[in-house]
């Protein structure tokens, strides 16, 4: 996605329902992913929008396997606080007021 990513990769609509999907794909197995702040913000906004407008994380594994290895897709609708490990937040000082 471009730097102006909306916080998801796929958008699906059916009647009044909207599903925004962020896909993380891996050649092998992966139990830890990088979730940029824009994607996390979109996830957080989805919690306020209600059940008809959802955001999901789809973790796709084993894309690099041979034909005998099945691709695995695991869907996540919740990211609990304890699952988040933040090491750095970058602040744009041009957006801050000095004192």
CA distance 15 to 64: 36
Tell me if 90 sits within 8 A of 53, measured CB to CB: no
- Look at residue 2 and tell me if it is in a domain: no
Give the structural domain span for 84.
Answer: 10-95
Percent of the chain predicted with pLDDT > 90: 68
Residue 14 located in a structural domain: yes
| Gap between the terminal Cα atoms of the chain | 37
Answer whether residue 71 is part of any domain: yes
- 43 falls within a domain: yes
5, part of any domain: no
Dist. CA 90–CA 88, nearest whole Å = 6
**Residue 3 confidence (pLDDT):** 62
pLDDT at residue 76, as a whole number: 96
Domain count, the chain: 1
- What mean pLDDT is predicted for residues 62-71? 86
Count the alpha carbons within 13 Å of 31 in the hemisphere toward its beta carbon.
Answer: 0
């Amino acid at each position: 996605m471009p730097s102006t990513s909306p916080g998801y990769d796929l958008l699906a609509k059916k009647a009044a329902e909207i599903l925004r999907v962020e896909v993380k794909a891996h050649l092998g197995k992966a139990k830890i992913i990088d979730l940029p702040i824009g994607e996390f913000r979109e996830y957080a906004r989805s919690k306020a929008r209600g059940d008809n407008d959802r955001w999901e994380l789809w973790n796709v594994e084993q894309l690099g396997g041979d034909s005998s290895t099945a691709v695995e897709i695991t869907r996540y609708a919740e990211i609990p606080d304890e699952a988040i490990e933040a090491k750095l937040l970058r602040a744009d000082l041009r957006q801050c007021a000095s004192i």
